[in-house]
Structure 1
Amino acid sequence: MKRNWERKHIADICEKASSNIALNKLEGVDGDYPVYGASGFVQNVDFYQRDTEYIGIVKDGSGVGRVNTYPAYSSLLGTMQYILPKDGYLLSFVSYALKSLNLASFASGAAIPHIYFKDYSKCQISVPPLEEQSRIVAELDLLTGIIDKQNAQLKELDNLAQVIFYDMFGDPIENPKGWEVKNIGDIADVKIGPFGSLLHASDYVNGGHPVINPVHLKAGKIVAEDDFTVNDDMYAQMMSYVLHKNDIVFGRRGDIGRCALVTQEQDGYLCGTGSLFVRFNIQVQPLFSIATLMHKSITDFLLKKAKGATMLNINCGIVEEVPFILPPLALQQSFAEKIQSIEKQKETIRASIADTQKLLDYTMDKYFG
């Protein structure tokens, strides 16, 4: 350990507070002070929690263990807990220290994971003098700032893609340009994934044939996981659920409208229990088809048709009713070329983010590992 550094328990350098806001208290409330939850900003209210910055931690549910810093005159929902650094410890330094602990690893609970301050407060970290804390924070802030700017560039490129689609084709539901329209069921085959009686949790193995569930559909792309695969015998029983290049996979429950395009590399993956897929039987440019089906107006259409009281879900019949515009193929191809150019820019940015993240991880490990 470096000179003048000390080993400290988290409980020695910060304390937990718990005056969080219940969601039902926000009904009909409006004001000047923001409230944050696990997914970010919720709404403004007419009361606030603290008059200085503080650290918020997602204490249960989705994103458990996520650490963030929140501004003065703001509040947190009951799914969050906030942490206050003690005198002599910089808020940003403590925030980085908490992130280094991977608080999600302290979660317990089968149905809804949750963490307790009493568990991770016993962890120790090395703490330097205040001046050194400030220098470390500046170094880490520089790297995280670069990553934030790069992520902002990705969002700008996504927005550009949406603008290009709207300029070329208009809203696919309102169809202001008067394109030919067909229901999905008239131009594609729609098939739901296997029922739970065919594919059980116990059937999953590591390193087999990937099975695509809603969790694997991210921003129009499929991100498979090694733990969600099946062996050759199970694969042979599920041949009718095999995905092919240019199919579009939908999550059929939960986050309605989530979908992704099957690429050449993913040809042969399996549609999972929580998914369904669309296979066009006419010529449609794949990048145009996924951009159309990811459009907000299509998602809104699906939400209006979705069934279920506790969890919304869609089925083949609902997807077959989706109206699909059919501009000339040459125009679809022109759109695809523009999108491909944008995707190349995004790949360059993602590679840069990965490199910066490696440097950030190394630096975090150097100070908190």
Structure 2
Amino acid sequence: MKVKLEDVCERGSSNLKQSDIIDKSGEYPIYGAAGYLGNIDFYHQDKPYIAVVKDGAGIGRTTLHPAKSSVIGTMQYLLPKENVLPEYLYYVVKYMHLEKYFTGATIPHIYFKDYKNEEFNLDTLDRQIEIVGILKKVEDIIEFRRQELDKLDNLIKARFVEMFGDSEHNTKRWSIAKLSSLCNVGSSKRIYQSELTETGIPFLRISDLNERIDGKNNTPQLFIPNDKYDELQTNGLVPSVGDILVTARGTLGKCYIIKPSDTFYFQDGMISWLSDINESITSLYLSYLFSTTGVQKQIANLQAGSTVAYLSIAMLKNLDIMIPPKTLQQQFAYFVTQVNKSKVAVQAALDKAQLLFDSLMQKYFG
């Protein structure tokens, strides 16, 4: 039968801040938006419950937590009533994609009052047990495929270190150059809110770029007109194949290499653009170098005294870059190509499992 979310759960709130639990210990876990934070000597909830990120990064993310645990104040408690299993409610709330209810431009929020009337199909408790079992099995397959992808990524990273050494200490004594001498470091032309449209060429915010880097098939939310894109392209203000986009806010220094199939524009200030890359270095090598300890420590050191993590164009230009022989970079590229063939097969299996999971969620709750 169709019911509203408020028919199966009650909301609860937490006044705990992350700073409140520093140096605390105990036997009861406490969680934040990114997951487990530690243990404390008290708990808020004596039964299993759902938590939803209601403020800031990761808004709408839904998690299931055990009895005798707590969450911090950026998360909303959803406490199951007697007519619903906690695990069933967890899948229901995931199905609802509560992030669509966010308000606020600087710090997004979602409120229970806005989504409490969401409707879904509520089955009997026996049927709920059956549905939870099926969804859990498919979710386990999805997690297994993700772990396979992680292992392949780690294989590439290990091969990188084997071939090029420790980037922090330049153990193979490669020559060093500033990034500014190896490529043009800049960003896009500013696109104003008034220029955005509902159709046209996708316009990527930093969150959209992060999803692309992570291999997610995100659906564009913002666009610019085709003629605006053509104008930018005519003026040489659109990235070319092989150029690199670098995240400049949030998680700093994540890289995306422009592909032949890419047609989009991107947010200035939040995303930097490496173009006209010197022939002595390949885009693939450079993008993997950015993920190494050596470059990440340089980026972290440049943040000293800053309250907001930001990788400016000036900071990027000043990074020290190891330059191994081009032939070695090309050998690495060949290795990555071979591993990527395996990744494509695993990704296809992951996509298939995800499609099954999504269709089952629609079938059970829609």
TM-score between the two structures when normalised by the length of structure 1: 0.87
1:312 aligns with one of 298, 302, 309: 309
Distance 2:306 2:176 in 1: 31
Pick closer, same or farther for the CA change 1:335–1:314 going to 2, 3 Å. Answer: same
**What's the counterpart of residue 13 of structure 1?**
8
**What's the counterpart of residue 209 of structure 2?**
217
Displacement, 1:10?
A: 2.5
1:104 equivalent in alignment to 2:99: yes
1:283 equivalent in alignment to 2:283: no
Contact 1:64-1:113 at 8 Å conserved across structures: yes
Summarize deviations over 1:318-354 as a string: whole Å, max 9, x none: 2122111122222212211221122222222222222
Identity in percent? 31
Summarize deviations over 1:6-33 as a string: whole Å, max 9, x none: 4433333222222452223123334444
**What's the counterpart of residue 361 of structure 2?**
364
Pick closer, same or farther for the CA change 1:26–1:366 going to 2, 3 Å. Answer: same
1:249 aligns with one of 245, 250, 259: 245
**What's the counterpart of residue 292 of structure 2?**
295
Distance 2:305 2:193 in 1: 23
Contact 1:147-1:356 at 8 Å conserved across structures: yes
1:258 equivalent in alignment to 2:261: no
1:137 equivalent in alignment to 2:137: no
1:189 equivalent in alignment to 2:181: no
Letter in 1 for 2:54: K
Summarize deviations over 1:144-172 as a string: whole Å, max 9, x none: 11111111211222222211111221222
Contact 2:2-2:119 at 8 Å conserved across structures: yes
Distance 1:206 1:356 in 2: 31
Distance 1:214 1:144 in 2: 28
Pick closer, same or farther for the CA change 1:229–1:124 going to 2, 3 Å. Answer: closer
Pick closer, same or farther for the CA change 1:243–1:217 going to 2, 3 Å. Answer: same
1:87 aligns with one of 82, 86, 98: 82
Question: Aligned with 2:89: secondary structure?
Answer: helix
Summarize deviations over 1:280-326 as a string: whole Å, max 9, x none: 22232322121112223312212321488453323333212211112
Question: Aligned with 1:217: secondary structure?
Answer: helix
Pick closer, same or farther for the CA change 1:74–1:206 going to 2, 3 Å. Answer: same
Distance 1:146 1:357 in 2: 9
Distance 1:361 1:271 in 2: 29
**What's the counterpart of residue 42 of structure 1?**
37
**What's the counterpart of residue 70 of structure 2?**
75
Displacement, 1:90?
A: 1.3
Contact 2:168-2:293 at 8 Å conserved across structures: no
Displacement, 1:138?
A: 0.9
Displacement, 1:230?
A: 4.1
Distance 1:348 1:136 in 2: 29
Question: Aligned with 2:261: secondary structure?
Answer: helix
* Greater alpha carbon shift after TM alignment, 322-331 vs 48-57: 48-57
Question: Aligned with 2:29: secondary structure?
Answer: strand
**What's the counterpart of residue 344 of structure 2?**
347
Letter in 1 for 2:206: P
TM-score between the two structures when normalised by the length of structure 2: 0.87
Pick closer, same or farther for the CA change 1:259–1:73 going to 2, 3 Å. Answer: same
1:200 aligns with one of 192, 199, 205: 192
1:332 equivalent in alignment to 2:332: no
2:123 aligns with one of 128, 147, 150: 128
Pick closer, same or farther for the CA change 1:322–1:110 going to 2, 3 Å. Answer: closer
List gaps (5 residues or longer) in structure 1: 1-5
Distance 1:224 1:244 in 2: 22
Letter in 2 for 1:85: P
* Greater alpha carbon shift after TM alignment, 145-154 vs 218-227: 218-227
Contact 1:221-1:261 at 8 Å conserved across structures: no
Summarize deviations over 1:43-78 as a string: whole Å, max 9, x none: 333333334432111122223222211133432110
Letter in 2 for 1:357: Q
1:147 equivalent in alignment to 2:142: yes
1:231 aligns with one of 216, 226, 230: 226
Contact 1:254-1:313 at 8 Å conserved across structures: yes
List gaps (5 residues or longer) in structure 2: none
Contact 1:211-1:224 at 8 Å conserved across structures: no
Letter in 2 for 1:48: Y
Distance 1:132 1:213 in 2: 42
Q: How many residues align?
A: 360
Pick closer, same or farther for the CA change 1:350–1:21 going to 2, 3 Å. Answer: same
Distance 1:224 1:14 in 2: 31
